[in-house]
Structure 1
Amino acid sequence: MSSSLDQLTSYLPPGWLPKWLLFISVVSIGNSIQAYLSLAGTREVYAGSASSSSPVTPLSARTFGTWTALSSIIRLYAAYHIHEPVVYQLALWTYGLAFAHFASEWLVFGTARWGRGLAGPVMVSTVTGSWMLAQWSSYVM
């Protein structure tokens, strides 16, 4: 297993950001698959307000899984092509849109509430988006 991982990461540009983007892509593909197989994980993110239950349906879970898969593919491309301005920008947009989506579902629409399910995506989108903005000049040519 280690040699497969080493082989996969050997094609990455140097630095921690490409490795992080690859890691998040792999984890997100797993989340996408899970969204197609079970409602449990998606219901943990979209737990509903304190007074209502989760609004997640099989259709909304699969839609979320598809959206996550698309974001994962863009982020995977960015991990390997981080010096390409358009690819970098697209990946950065995925984190900005994810943050806006999760924040609005929590603070505006009330379909999500703060907890383990929401904390992960909010933290990843915030940290990674900030990291990418801070590292722009280090990677984009």
Structure 2
Amino acid sequence: MNALDSVVALLPHEPLPQWLTLVSVISIASGLNALVNPIKYSRNLYSANVTELVYGLTMGTFLIALAHFSSEVFVFKTMRLSGTSVSPFVVATTSALWMWSARSIYVPQLF
């Protein structure tokens, strides 16, 4: 029995285990490729420009936080606007306004 026959004998004989073996071999090869050439790998994998999307999502999370804390204070009255509870308002408001005013610097314009 040669080396190739020994390797083939170790492989699974059912379709699902064969598929999982193939996926694991491809994953290992992909991981090694990422280790050997990380810049090229990441550029090929993440080639889309998502700056505008990520910027919008980040600004949106600050607006959601502001809405959440505002509802706790003004609607549900489960939080008072004093002491440490002021900081979420300051952070959310400052961040959202700053991101809105600086958007043209960080997000490329189409026109």
TM-score scaled by length of structure 2:
0.51
1:108 aligns with 2:105: no
Q: 1:120 aligns with which of 79, 87, 93?
A: 87
TM-score scaled by length of structure 1:
0.41
What does the per-residue CA deviation read over 1:76-108, in whole Å, with 9 as the maximum and x for residues that have no partner? xxxxxxx80000001001100000000110000
Q: Distance in 2 between matches of 1:107 and 1:117?
A: 17
1:131 aligns with 2:98: yes
Pairing of 1:67-86 with structure 2 (within 5 A)? 84-86=51-53
> Displacement, 1:116?
1.6
What does the per-residue CA deviation read over 1:97-135, in whole Å, with 9 as the maximum and x for residues that have no partner? 000000110000001001122100000000010000000
The CA RMSD measured in Å over matched residues stands at 1.1
Partner of 2:41: none
**The structure with more radius of gyration:** 2
Structure possessing the higher relative contact order (Cα contacts under 8 Å, 6 or more residues apart): 1
Partner of 1:95: 62
Runs of 4+ in 1 over 2 A off after TM superposition: none
Does the residue aligned with 2:102 lie in a helix, a strand or coil?
Answer: helix
Q: Distance in 2 between matches of 1:94 and 1:111?
A: 21
Aligned length: 59
